[in-house]
Amino acid sequence: MPQYMLLIYEDPSAGPAPGSPQAQQEFGEYGTFTEDVNRRGMFVSGAPLKMTDTATTVRVNGTGEAVLTDGPFADTKEWLAGYYVLDCPDLDTATQQAARIPATRHGSVEVRPVMEMSEA
């Protein structure tokens, strides 16, 4: 079955305040969603990500040396907050599942097919 990565982008200023009752409710909704896709046999993996200030960006310069920079690749309003990888029969199913993710109320979820290594 094809796999789809659901990339969760959030605008921290648009979502519920950390620790608020709304944030706790949303956290519970993520748990419910995860349990449901797991029960349906779709869940492959998923995890929330720490804030962008914990990121390290790696680039390789012209001499082949790795150059590390603290912080994310780009300064954007929305940041990659987490992901799910789901087994879904088709894109329609994957987008239906993405629409159930709580972040869609104040951010977005990008759905992308995972390329099998045999396709590369």
How many domains in the chain?
1
SS3 labels along the chain: CCEEEEEEEECCCCCCCCCCHHHHHHHHHHHHHHHHHHHCCCEEEEEECCCHHHCEEEEECCCCCEEEEECCCCCCCCEEEEEEEEECCCHHHHHHHHCCCHHHHCEEEEEEECCCHHHC
pLDDT tens track for 41-78: 999 999 999 988 888 888 899 999 998 988 766 656 77
User: Which band of pLDDT confidence, cut at 50, 70 and 90, is reported for residue 14?
Assistant: confident
What is the extent of the structural domain holding 30?
3-119
CATH code: domain of residue 10 = 3.30.70.1060
pTM of the model: 0.85
User: Which band of pLDDT confidence, cut at 50, 70 and 90, is reported for residue 120?
Assistant: low
